[in-house]
Chain A
């Protein structure tokens, strides 16, 4: 067993995904099998190798810093589940100051 239910519960919390006990059980078993499979990467000697996070040789890409038209606020808010006063509305984040 490479992974436990507690680890999955912790990781689901990091990823902000609520989970039932049954789901937790189910995912732990499946992810354990997947991690067991990817363990084969341990067979390879990777010392001295550079990681490839991006395949094309590319440095930072800059563009000219000029003002361009942006979307109107009304367009952007069209998809918002909840809005007020031309803003996205969210639940209270800070309880008391």
Chain B
């Protein structure tokens, strides 16, 4: 029999229901995998084994009524868990233990999930490689010399390496989909407003969204159903019914209309990535979908718009870290202003400082119109591109990332090159639409390649249906790295 840690959530639910296994069996299998692999992988920020076993033993409730009963889950380190270290992998939140649970954590608990630990991430989700974490870099399980992507690199890597069944991440510009693509797992960013952000430590409030990293599409549907829904604690969450994704995704895709934007197959996109995505499109056509070329003319401006807006919002959100209420506080002498300056100088890493300064600059008097306001107006153009395509199409298919996983150290010294690696994922955040990345092939060097499916706002069902149909017809998702 396969080890339990390598199974999917829906496979484990069947075994749990039959009474063949107990939740503690799954936890033990995960802990064993962590013992074996974590030293090399470094995907986790925190894990308290005794606590996990305690939580397993204390599981109450009934599995018939709770959709995740007995399933262990890992959480990205920027989501608040009551009493558990939550630091965004930054020194400035050193020692922070939130006094409350994020809404998604509350929902996981109510659904009977077992919280394991926190996963590694780029500091405050600022990055595409997990290299900016205060705890150090996570490795890509397919090649230890390469990055897992980011910022949810820890969540993607631990799922890919079977150190986890599934995990939560957050996606502000591709931070779930890009690492999913680079690690060969399924990464879903729901529509802005579909999942409550209450308790997600804010990076860019108009772009941030919590989502899932799973081994297959059915698990994404199960986990999304559990965490989605309106929450009065997040005034931007939207009060609209949550469909029963796990059953709806199994419908076929005959006649579904898909646009393939020509701007996503440009120079700079790796040839092997283009070929794999084109082959996947052929497969999706064979499954009955209609795929046609479309145009999203303002695609090339998305990176510029994003890095002005995301940094502006970040500079404002991160103003709260001033050494007074929580986290790190500089002990150096001086005035209260000196204390703020020293705390932030010593507490933030390089990329956080860079983004706060860029954002403060874009918002500052004299530059606001030329940078921030102009970026907001170009965002309107980008949104209109998508609105136009979605008048005629149900979904859009693109590569998730222009390349497979890059080497550790390759881009970290050149921020702009790093930013450009988000080019295909950013627009979904700027426009609020849902997107999923699924495995669609491998390079000659055995690195995973990801396919991105984007959908209309609140139509996660359509993109998961396409993803599920494709997954059923292919075997990419069942390949696992050897560690």
Interface residues of A (CB under 8 A from B): 3, 7-8, 11-12, 14-19, 23, 27, 30-31, 33-34, 37-38, 40-42, 44, 46, 49-56, 58, 61, 63, 71, 75-76, 78-82, 88, 90-93
**CB nearest to B205 among chain A residues:** A54
Q: Is the CB of B344 within 8 A of A18?
A: yes
A73 to chain B, nearest CB (A): 11
Q: 1/0 per position for B91-112, CB-CB distance to A under 8 A? A: 0000111011000000000000
Q: A88 contacts B325, CB within 8 Å?
A: yes
In the bound complex, residues from chain B placing their C-beta under 8 Å from that of A58 are: 236
Picked from B342, B353, B374, B378, the residue with its CB within 8 Å of the CB of A27 is B353
CB pair B380–A17 under 8 Å, yes or no, is: no
- 16 additional contacts (CB under 8 A) given A18-B344, A56-B432: A11-B357, A11-B364, A16-B322, A16-B344, A27-B354, A40-B301, A41-B301, A41-B304, A49-B381, A52-B377, A52-B379, A52-B383, A81-B323, A82-B329, A90-B339, A91-B335
Considering the chains assembled together, what is the distance between the CA atoms of A38 and B310 in angstroms? 13
Q: CA–CA, A56 to B237, complex, Å?
A: 10
Question: What are the residues of chain B within 8 A of A15 when measuring CB–CB?
Answer: 315, 319, 344, 356-357, 360
A82 cross-chain contacts in B, Cβ below 8 A: 329
Closest-by-CB residue of A relative to B234 is A61
Chain B contacts with A in 422-438, Cβ cutoff 8 A: 430-432
Q: Is A54's CB under 8 angstroms from B206's CB?
A: yes
Which 9 pairs show the lowest CB-CB distances between chains A and B?
A51-B376, A55-B432, A18-B345, A81-B329, A79-B326, A18-B341, A61-B235, A46-B377, A38-B304
Q: Which residues of B contact A23 (CB under 8 A)?
A: 353
Contact residues in B for A51 (Cβ distance below 8 Å): 373, 376-377, 379-380
Contacts of A42 in B (CB 8 A): 374
Residue on A with the closest CB to B82?
A75
Residue of A nearest to B383 (CB): A52
In the complex, the chain A residue whose C-beta lies closest to that of B358 is A31
Write out the residue numbers on chain B whose beta carbons fall within 8 Å of the beta carbon of A7.
361
Say how far B331's CB is from chain A's closest CB, in angstroms: 9
Q: What residues of chain B have their CB less than 8 Å away from a CB belonging to chain A? A: 95-97, 99-100, 192-193, 206, 232, 235-236, 238, 298, 300-301, 303-305, 307-308, 315, 319, 322-329, 334-342, 344-345, 348, 353-354, 356-358, 360-361, 364, 371, 373-381, 383, 415-416, 419, 430-432, 457
Interchain CB contact under 8 A, A56 and B193: yes
- Write 8 A-B pairs (CB below 8 A) sorted by A numbering: A11-B357, A17-B348, A19-B345, A51-B379, A55-B431, A71-B99, A91-B334, A91-B339
| Chain A: minimal CB distance from B389 (Å) | 16
Residue from A14, A61, A63, A79 within 8 A of B325 (CB atoms):
A79
Would A75 and B99 count as touching, CB distance under 8 A?
Answer: yes
Least CB distance, B158 to chain A, in whole angstroms: 27
Say yes or no: B364 contacts A17, CB within 8 Å. no
Nearest-neighbour CB distance to chain B for A93, whole angstroms, equals 5
What is the predominant secondary structure among interface residues of chain A facing chain B?
Answer: loop
Per the bound structure, the CA–CA distance linking A26 and B383 in Å amounts to 35
Cβ-neighbour of A41 out of B335, B340, B364, B375 (below 8 A): B375
A residues in contact with B235, CB < 8 Å: 61, 63
Are A17 and B96 interface neighbours, CB within 8 A? no
How close is A92's CB to chain B, nearest CB, in angstroms? 7
- Contact A17 to B357, CB < 8 A, known contacts A46-B377, A81-B323, A81-B329: yes
Q: What's the nearest-Cβ distance from chain A to residue B191, in Å? A: 9
With beta carbons under 8 angstroms apart, the residue of B304, B341, B377 that contacts A16 is B341
A49 to B359, CA, bound (A): 22
Most-contacted residue by chain B among A19, A31, A79 (CB, 10 A): A79
Instruction: Verify A17–B358 contact, CB threshold 8 A.
Output: no
Residues of B within 8 A of A30 (CB): 354, 415-416
Smallest distance from the beta carbon of B299 to chain A beta carbons, Å? 12
Q: Bound complex: CA of A84 vs CA of B60, how far in Å?
A: 40
A42 CA to B377 CA, complexed, in Å = 11
A74 to chain B, nearest CB (A): 10
Residue with the highest number of chain A CB atoms closer than 10 Å, among B335, B377, B378: B377
Cross-chain contact B381 with A34 (CB below 8 angstroms):
no
- Of the candidates B329, B336, B361, B375, the one whose C-beta lies within 8 Å of that of A31 is B361
Q: Given A3, A41, A55, which contacts B383 in the complex, CB threshold below 8 Å?
A: A55
B354 cross-chain contacts in A, Cβ below 8 A: 27, 30-31
Once the chains bind, are A50 and B336 in contact (CB under 8 Å)?
A: no
Q: Which of A34, A53, A61, A71 contacts B416 (CB 8 A)?
A: A34
Query: Nearest residue in B to A39 (C-beta to C-beta)?
Result: B304
